[in-house]
Amino acid sequence: MCHFHPRWYIAVATVISLYQAYRGFRLQWVLGIRIPPLGYARWHTPEALVPHVPPVLLLPNQPVRPASQLDKVILLCIADALTFFVCAATGFEALLRLKGIASGKLATIQDHGVLAAFLLLYGVSGITGKLPEGLAKISSKLS
């Protein structure tokens, strides 16, 4: 289904999504995960597992290698920038879909109340940059 997006809406969505991408990049750059220096621990000890490295990638008897700036940028900062950008952009799309429901083009809000509430929550939390934080909290509670 194709919907018309006003140019001003696309411009605002693009600017805010790019800002959120920059914000995600900088948050990870400043507050990113600290990886232990070389010799701090060994891969083969359970206590030495570096956070966010799946065990399947670990090799026995290999020293922990310090992360280079390039590693940090590629693995952490760019990933967070993309996450924040996608959350903000899809948040704008969710609000546009909500407008379609509210205007009666798709259906009435009474017929799709739960969907309308979800779209509102998703849209606002995505645009404001709170969606990635919420997803991280949910993920940490599930693991």
Query: Is 5 within 8 Å of 92 (Cβ atoms)?
Result: no
CA distance 142 to 110: 33
The predicted pLDDT at position 1 comes to 45
Look at residue 121 and tell me whether its pLDDT is greater than 50: yes
**pTM, rounded to two decimals:** 0.67
Band (4; pLDDT cuts 50, 70, 90): low
38: its two tokens? 């070389």
Query: Is 49 within 8 Å of 55 (Cβ atoms)?
Result: yes
CA distance 101 to 120: 11
Q: Is the model more confident about 84 or about 6?
A: 84
- For the segment 62-88, the average pLDDT, to the nearest whole number, is 81
> Hey, how many other C-beta atoms are within 10 angstroms of the C-beta on 46?
7
